[in-house]
Chain A
Amino acid sequence: MKTAVIVFPGSNCDRDAQVALRQVTGTEPEMVWHKDGTIPEGTDLVMVPGGFSYGDALRCGAIAANSPVISQLHEHAARGGYILGVCNGFQVLCETGLLPGALIRNASLNFVCKPQALKIDSANSAFTSAYAGQDEIIIPVAHHDGNYVADEDVLDRIESEGRVAFRYAGNPNGSARDIAGVISENGRVMGMMPHPERAIGGHENGTDGLGVFESLVGAI
């Protein structure tokens, strides 16, 4: 399995993503600098990591979504490649149009960092199959703008198509219909606000995040 992590100026979970991918896939992900890097041919999974790309200037993810590397990301998606966006990565994917909806400021107006209980809404996806049979998992969140919004008909559609991957059990940010993670129409792109790469063991957040990566290994 060949993986890559895109690094924007201000990305700060790129190393965490690298560690998680290395640990689960056993191979070294390619770290792609947004300005001059190219996504290597044959890459199966591209991870868009968390952080504060461009310092969240303008709108979270808005400037990164116009970076040189994004055209390659679109090509990768068009080929049916897998993409996982976490936190700021989710925001970037929404800004690029690869995922529907947008993420606005938390309802509390405060940054929130805590272990978060999530309901597995659909274990029938390339990102969640490892959670089959599990009802609830705990993965930490850490964001200021994780409040998911979309038009009602968009929300109806992604729900009816089984494209809600995770829902919050105890909504930390005001997200519509408690949505914590969304999958694209072709089932190959997922964005989520919680950080699975911060729940892979060896620290205070447990290992519930491993399932996202293990699911992908299974799918690819």
Chain B
Amino acid sequence: MTDKTAIIAAMQATQTSADAAQHGINAEEWDRLVTRLGRDPNLVETGIYSVMWSEHCSYKSSRRHLSKFPTKNDRVIQGPGENAGVIDIGDGQAAIFKMESHNHPSYIEPYQGAATGVGGILRDVFTMGARPIALVNALRFGDPSHPKTRSLVAGVVAGIGGYGNCVGVPTVAGETQFDKGYNGNILVNAMAVGLADQDKIFYARGATPGNPIFYVGSKTGRDGIHGATMASAEFSEGEEDNRPTVQVGDPFTEKLLIEACLELMATDAIQAIQDMGAAGLTSSSVEMADSGGENGEGIGVRMDLDKVPQRETGMTAYEIMLSESQERMLMVLYPDKIDLAKKIFDKYDLDAEVIGETTDTGNLTLLQHGAVVCDIPVAPLAEDAPNYDRPWVEPPKRAPLDISKYPEPEDYGEVLLKLMSCPDMASKRWIWEQYDRHVMGDTVDSSQSMGDAAIVRIHGTNKALAITSDCNPHYVAADPYEGGKQAVAEAYRNLSAVGAKPIAITDNLNFGNPEKPDTMGYIVKAIEGMAEACRVLDFPVVSGNVSLYNETDGISIPPTPVVGGVGLIEDVTKIATLKGAQPGDMLILIGETKGHMGASLYAREILGLEGEDAGPPPPVDLELEKRNADFVRSLVEQGLVNAVHDVSEGGIACAAAEMALASGVGVYFDQIAAQVSIADLETAGTGQEAIWGEDSGRYLVAVSTEQTSEWPIMVGSSPLLEATTSIGRFQGDRIEIIRGAGDTHPIVNLPLARLREAHEGWLPNYMSSVE
């Protein structure tokens, strides 16, 4: 379509409810739209409504439940609602962070899907004035035996590395899990953390009428049109045809955009700023207009689309407004700063054009080829978007797992080998060695130390941020409320284990189709569980993202609410990781062991239990979590431990094995069955619940004799004393476990080298094997 008159006619053509249905607008939404507008919309307007009211942009299924999250504490400067969350980290500085999914695009085109996921989350952070300092990613793939899994892993990892490495932001941590529940919908959740001065934080809000709207970055092309709508629908077989809706990333341009924006932000030129993410120019302009005005009353925007830098010829207003071309920003400038801004962007050879101005009409007004092709009030687009109270049913409770029904393992050593080399537990070195973890020179600890959380120094200071991401979808599937609590508590533990004070989280809620009451029940209960944990732990949600409709042919992913946690370390010399254990150190367990085997790694990998048979997840006692975390943190701060690891999947045995591998020292467990208190279990004494059980709120620490003599619990009558147990020591080069008093033969006697080979071997072998 190149003839201007034809374009205008097509753009202005009045649409029907049948046309709108093709845009994903249902009958109820159509009625609402027409009522609010007082007329039938044209094509451009319909397209704009469809993306603004998509699940992805409007959170129409989750909004009323997301409001249950606590979003404030002493350190929160900006909670949800802006591009990213902002927390006070002292000395006039702020950490700005968010996690976001790029699930649907990554399945269709793994390299570009993952790469643009990284690019998008970086923009969310530097839009607010922060220099990005760390990237984290949480990945879920299908069963390793599924024919697509290997190529998806390769593509996603290459995409994340290809973008992050080039932009020059270290990828410091992450998690990767495999489950057949993700065969048709992988999850790619990327988190970015940035650093800003508190007096130089920029917001989408606050634009006033009469100022120029400035477009910067890449030119607009036809890529990614309707990406937000795609992300709001289920997949079906043959979805690869959607490839044109996946955007293409250019990390080089992103790098220039970061530098240019930060240079401009050092001046007083910008009144409001919004990156062009999902729904591109539409959502960025609408959001700035909606939150504009001195008191947030909203303003209007008028843009001449002919002025938008375009990569292709003959683009229509519809295409320009819905394009999701990457590496673009929209700003409202102060009128006298246009030349200054142009000069800075010219230095970096980036496009920068004034494409319109803010107005006091309250309308989004768009012109193309001299004709008005859109003129609709802004408020209904953003504020009157549907807010559904989707019907939901309470997820069924599972009966406890009776482990005594299953035979005790014949060879505990083989079990340990199998668990430590299973896809979820095996080393992810093959992945993280493809990420630059060290650029920017402040990475104190990354994936290479196998740590619970990455530690990134705050540049030029002696402080650091600890960063982690976590979710155990098996727990959430087993009990979304307790599983949701656990996801938050696990992040809290990870941060505390390295010695950081947990401050706030970002979340990425990945679920199936919310229109199904069963799925909606998991969404609601997981949110409520997470909210409860956030409240008790004073660990609020400051930003996040919801990814629904992760279903293919009616099969949903496991419920996966991923938590990205950030904590503060006041003195970077006072930290702990897994790798500091010394020969002769005692291995001490902090927290109580009840031998909870339900929904455990053991139940899954060794007993082969699935679904209901696997039983419920370990309950989370949040007060206890807080107490134990405070205790561990205080030990780390006082230098009273050599190494720390929280106990999670695979229980004490796997946690200790990981410490042994990281430290290069063997572990000897002394009479484990007797030394760990197992309450409420008739089977107490076989030792398997003590070894593989996944009770919450526990940590293993490696401590020298000199250090323990300084421990507060060793001298006082702290209530922690009863829950602190010496269970073994670090020595030699083997993992040895003695079950009970009088036993002469260890039930596990495994050379560390063999364990390392199995742990390190699985992923590279898998990736290099050809079926």
Q: Find out whether the CB atom of A57 lies under 8 angstroms from the CB atom of B252.
A: yes
Residue among A19, A20, A57, A142 with max Cβ neighbours from chain B (10 Å): A142
Chain B contacts of A9 at CB under 8 A?
252, 255-256, 348-349
Answer whether residue B434 sits at the interface, using C-beta atoms and an 8 A cutoff: yes
Residue among A55, A195, A202, A203 with max Cβ neighbours from chain B (10 Å): A203
Contact mask for chain A residues 12-42; partner B; CB cutoff 8 A; 1 contact, 0 none: 1101100110000000000001010000000
Given known A-B contacts A112-B434, A115-B448, A202 and B457 have beta carbons under 8 A apart = yes
List residues 238-255 of chain B with CB under 8 A from any CB of chain A: 250-253, 255
Chain A contacts of B555 at CB under 8 A?
none
Give the CA-CA distance A205 to B443 in the complex, in Å: 9
Contact mask for chain B residues 431-447; partner A; CB cutoff 8 A; 1 contact, 0 none: 01111111111111110
Answer whether residue B417 sits at the interface, using C-beta atoms and an 8 A cutoff: no
Given known A-B contacts A15-B440, A113-B434, A203 and B457 have beta carbons under 8 A apart = yes
Chain A contacts of B440 at CB under 8 A?
15-16
Q: Find out whether the CB atom of B442 lies under 8 angstroms from the CB atom of A203.
A: yes
Chain B contacts of A140 at CB under 8 A?
438
Interface of chain B: mostly helix, strand, loop or mixed: mixed
A65 to chain B, nearest CB (A): 16
Segment at the A interface, from B160-168, B666-674, B747-755: B160-168
Answer whether residue B93 sits at the interface, using C-beta atoms and an 8 A cutoff: no
From the candidates B436, B441, B572, name the one contacting A111 in the complex (CB within 8 A).
Answer: B436
Q: Find out whether the CB atom of B438 lies under 8 angstroms from the CB atom of A12.
A: no
From the candidates B166, B432, B434, name the one contacting A10 in the complex (CB within 8 A).
Answer: B166
Q: Find out whether the CB atom of B168 lies under 8 angstroms from the CB atom of A13.
A: yes
B650 to chain A, nearest CB (A): 25
From the candidates A19, A56, A113, A144, name the one contacting B437 in the complex (CB within 8 A).
Answer: A113
Closest to B577 in A: A204
B124 to chain A, nearest CB (A): 20
From the candidates A10, A19, A33, A205, name the one contacting B252 in the complex (CB within 8 A).
Answer: A10
Chain B contacts of A50 at CB under 8 A?
439
Give the CA-CA distance A121 to B400 in the complex, in Å: 64
Answer whether residue A146 sits at the interface, using C-beta atoms and an 8 A cutoff: no
Given known A-B contacts A9-B252, A197-B441, A198-B441, A142 and B436 have beta carbons under 8 A apart = yes
From the candidates B167, B438, B449, name the one contacting A113 in the complex (CB within 8 A).
Answer: B438
Closest to B454 in A: A204
Answer whether residue B347 sits at the interface, using C-beta atoms and an 8 A cutoff: yes
Chain B contacts of A111 at CB under 8 A?
161-162, 165, 434-436
Given known A-B contacts A52-B168, A197-B441, A203-B457, A114 and B252 have beta carbons under 8 A apart = no
Give the CA-CA distance A113 to B256 in the complex, in Å: 23
How many chain B residues touch A (Cβ–Cβ < 8 Å)?
Answer: 35
Answer whether residue A71 sits at the interface, using C-beta atoms and an 8 A cutoff: no
Answer whether residue A110 sits at the interface, using C-beta atoms and an 8 A cutoff: yes
Q: Find out whether the CB atom of A113 lies under 8 angstroms from the CB atom of B433.
A: yes
Chain B contacts of A56 at CB under 8 A?
166, 252
Q: Find out whether the CB atom of B434 lies under 8 angstroms from the CB atom of A16.
A: no
A139 to chain B, nearest CB (A): 11
Give the CA-CA distance A13 to B165 in the complex, in Å: 11
B771 to chain A, nearest CB (A): 20
Answer whether residue A61 sits at the interface, using C-beta atoms and an 8 A cutoff: no
Answer whether residue A89 sits at the interface, using C-beta atoms and an 8 A cutoff: no
Q: Find out whether the CB atom of B168 lies under 8 angstroms from the CB atom of A113.
A: no
Contact mask for chain A residues 154-171; partner B; CB cutoff 8 A; 1 contact, 0 none: 000000000000000000
Chain A contacts of B166 at CB under 8 A?
10, 12, 52, 55-56
Answer whether residue A85 sits at the interface, using C-beta atoms and an 8 A cutoff: no
Tally the A-B contacts, defined by beta carbons under 8 Å: 98
Answer whether residue A51 sits at the interface, using C-beta atoms and an 8 A cutoff: yes
Q: Find out whether the CB atom of A198 lies under 8 angstroms from the CB atom of B255.
A: no
Q: Find out whether the CB atom of B436 lies under 8 angstroms from the CB atom of A113.
A: yes
Give the CA-CA distance A203 to B255 in the complex, in Å: 24
Give the CA-CA distance A52 to B165 in the complex, in Å: 8
Q: Find out whether the CB atom of A204 lies under 8 angstroms from the CB atom of B446.
A: yes
Give the CA-CA distance A96 to B437 in the complex, in Å: 29
Give the CA-CA distance A12 to B435 in the complex, in Å: 14
Residue among B167, B168, B435 with max Cβ neighbours from chain A (10 Å): B168
Chain B contacts of A142 at CB under 8 A?
165, 436-439
A202 to chain B, nearest CB (A): 7
A147 to chain B, nearest CB (A): 16
Contact mask for chain B residues 24-62; partner A; CB cutoff 8 A; 1 contact, 0 none: 000000000000000000000000000000000000000
Chain A contacts of B165 at CB under 8 A?
52, 111, 113, 142, 144
Residue among B435, B438, B445, B457 with max Cβ neighbours from chain A (10 Å): B438
List residues 681-721 of chain B with CB under 8 A from any CB of chain A: none
A194 to chain B, nearest CB (A): 11
Given known A-B contacts A10-B255, A52-B252, A55-B252, A204 and B448 have beta carbons under 8 A apart = yes
Q: Find out whether the CB atom of A203 lies under 8 angstroms from the CB atom of B433.
A: no
B767 to chain A, nearest CB (A): 10
Q: Find out whether the CB atom of B161 lies under 8 angstroms from the CB atom of A203.
A: no
A146 to chain B, nearest CB (A): 13
Give the CA-CA distance A135 to B104 in the complex, in Å: 51
Contact mask for chain A residues 166-202; partner B; CB cutoff 8 A; 1 contact, 0 none: 0000000000000000000000000000010110101
Given known A-B contacts A52-B251, A52-B255, A55-B251, A203 and B438 have beta carbons under 8 A apart = yes
Given known A-B contacts A52-B255, A57-B252, A203-B457, A15 and B441 have beta carbons under 8 A apart = yes
Residue among B161, B165, B436 with max Cβ neighbours from chain A (10 Å): B436
Q: Find out whether the CB atom of A16 lies under 8 angstroms from the CB atom of B441.
A: yes
Contact mask for chain B residues 145-169; partner A; CB cutoff 8 A; 1 contact, 0 none: 0000000000000100110011110
Contact mask for chain A residues 46-76; partner B; CB cutoff 8 A; 1 contact, 0 none: 0000111011110000000000000000000
Give the CA-CA distance A202 to B167 in the complex, in Å: 23
Give the CA-CA distance A140 to B439 in the complex, in Å: 10
Give the CA-CA distance A113 to B162 in the complex, in Å: 13
Give the CA-CA distance A217 to B644 in the complex, in Å: 40
Contact mask for chain A residues 129-162; partner B; CB cutoff 8 A; 1 contact, 0 none: 0000000000010101000000000000000000
Chain B contacts of A10 at CB under 8 A?
166, 252, 255-256
Give the CA-CA distance A200 to B433 in the complex, in Å: 21
Given known A-B contacts A12-B167, A55-B251, A205 and B438 have beta carbons under 8 A apart = yes
A81 to chain B, nearest CB (A): 25
Chain A contacts of B256 at CB under 8 A?
9-10
Give the CA-CA distance A33 to B436 in the complex, in Å: 24
Residue among B251, B432, B449 with max Cβ neighbours from chain A (10 Å): B251
Residue among B162, B347, B441 with max Cβ neighbours from chain A (10 Å): B441
Chain B contacts of A112 at CB under 8 A?
433-434
Chain A contacts of B167 at CB under 8 A?
12
Chain A contacts of B572 at CB under 8 A?
202
Q: A52-B252, A55-B250, A114-B448 given; name 17 further pairs at CB < 8 Å.
A: A9-B252, A13-B439, A19-B441, A33-B347, A51-B168, A52-B255, A55-B251, A56-B166, A110-B158, A111-B435, A112-B433, A113-B436, A195-B438, A197-B441, A200-B441, A202-B441, A203-B441
Residues of B within 8 A of A (CB): 158, 161-162, 165-168, 250-253, 255-256, 347-349, 432-446, 448-449, 457, 572
14 residue pairs bridging A and B, Cβ less than 8 Å apart: A9-B256, A10-B255, A12-B166, A12-B168, A55-B251, A56-B166, A112-B433, A140-B438, A198-B438, A198-B439, A202-B572, A204-B438, A204-B443, A205-B443
A-B pairs with the 7 shortest C-beta distances? A12-B168, A55-B252, A16-B441, A52-B166, A142-B436, A111-B434, A198-B438
